Amino acid sequence: MSYETILVETRGPVTLITLNRPKSLNALNSSVCEDLIKAFAAFEADPDQRCAIVTGSGEKAFAAGADIKEMADKPAAAFFSEDFFSRWTSHVVKATRKPWIAAVNGFALGGGCELAMMADFIIASENAKFGQPEVKLGIAPGMGGSQRLTRAIGKAKAMEMCLTGRMMDAHEAERSGLVARVVPLADLLDETLKTAEAIAAMPPLAAIGCKELVNAAFETTLDQGLLFERRVFQVLTATEDKAEGMGAFIEKRAGVFKGK
């Protein structure tokens, strides 16, 4: 598979996707959108790949937003008829059942912050900065920022960030629940790879179940969520990996999981 704007490599069972437009701080244009959709489809289809990472090239930015130069002269009707960037929700977020992590190195602004929030969780470097500065450009978040940021950090901080466009540093982002962990920039890739490898070693169906359950907490009532949780739990007890996992525990050995 060839890509124009991203680099894709596999490290054992982990797919590493690097946004690769460093001269424009990895700004997200239509090619990035198409490339990421292709890369995620390939990741999802490959049974040997069990966890993915998205990061940015260079030390300065994960992604500084949607490409302002591409958007500047685009007519409103084109944003509407293309349903601009909507395919990430359908083709990346919803179509990817396997877990993936955003490793945020530097600026994650506008669409960059929104892409990071599409991941199952974020690991950030100490120099990471998150923001939704769209208001300064006369627009508003358009790829989930107002919705996912509010769910992640609550109304007060999300509203303040969307209205002022201010950036949040990595430690504030961790305190606020936006990121799972902050690590030194030099360790970001290694630490994220270690986490991805740990996830990749888990029984794959159980990992998919956990992901669906946590995501359901944002979509359902507590009663519906608890019912869904019990059903997923009960379904997973029928898997070969459950027999292997419990057998391995009792026999004091490491489990070998097949995703069956």
Cα separation, 51 vs 195, in Å, equals 9
Nearest distance from residue 137's CB to ligand HXC, in Å?
Answer: 6
Q: Which of residues 15 and 146 has its CB atom nearest to ligand HXC in the complex?
A: 146
Catalytic residue flag (residue 216): no
Q: Which of residues 13 and 133 has its CB atom nearest to ligand HXC in the complex?
A: 133
Catalytic residue flag (residue 134): yes
Tokens 């097949």 belong to residue: 258
Q: Which of 65, 103, 134, 200 is catalytic?
A: 134
Q: Which of 56, 65, 111, 245 is catalytic?
A: 111
List the one residue out of 65, 137, 64, 144 whose CA is nearest residue 107: 64
How far are the Cα atoms of 63, 79, 131, 160, 179 from residue 128, in angstroms, in the given order?
11, 29, 10, 19, 10
Which one-letter amino acid corresponds to residue 194?
A: K
User: Is residue 185 within 8 Å of 127, Cβ to Cβ?
Assistant: yes
Cα separation, 97 vs 94, in Å, equals 7
Catalytic residue flag (residue 114): yes
Catalytic residue flag (residue 112): no
Q: Which of residues 146 and 239 has its CB atom nearest to ligand HXC in the complex?
A: 146
Q: Which of residues 60 and 175 has its CB atom nearest to ligand HXC in the complex?
A: 60
Q: What's the order of all strands across the beta sheet hosting 14-19?
A: 6-11, 14-19, 51-56, 100-104, 121-125, 181-183
Binding site for ligand HXC (CB under 6 A): 24-25, 27, 64-69, 84-85, 107, 109-111, 133-134, 137, 141-143
Nearest distance from residue 44's CB to ligand HXC, in Å?
Answer: 23
Q: Which of 27, 63, 64, 66 is catalytic?
A: 66
Task: Give the residue numbers marked as catalytic.
Answer: 66, 111, 114, 134
